[in-house]
Amino acid sequence: MVILGMLVCIALALFVVAAVAVPAQRDGESFWTAEGEATVNQIVDRTGTAVSAVRSATGEAVSVVRDKVGSSAR
């Protein structure tokens, strides 16, 4: 029952955001303030850097495991 209530709240929140953002976007207004847009850009840059670091780290680990498993399986 709690999960259903949470889903209803999330749906209501999405509806409210859409009801405010869509007309504003049609009027040519930006959804973000200048400060908010700068913050979002910083987050996107940091996320891209973190994803690259994780991919390179896990890629190396995966290749090491593949080498070990491949050499012991043969």
Residue-level pLDDT at 72: 58
Whole-model pTM: value is: 0.41
Terminal CA-to-CA distance of the chain, rounded, Å?
A: 53
Above 70 in pLDDT, residue 73?
Answer: no
14: its two tokens: 């999405």
CA dist., res. 20 & res. 22, Å (int) = 6
Q: What tens digit of pLDDT does each residue of 23-63 get?
A: 887 888 777 788 988 998 999 888 888 888 887 878 777 77
CA dist., res. 20 & res. 13, Å (int) = 11
Torsion, CA 11, CA 14, CA 19, CA 25, rounded to 10: -160
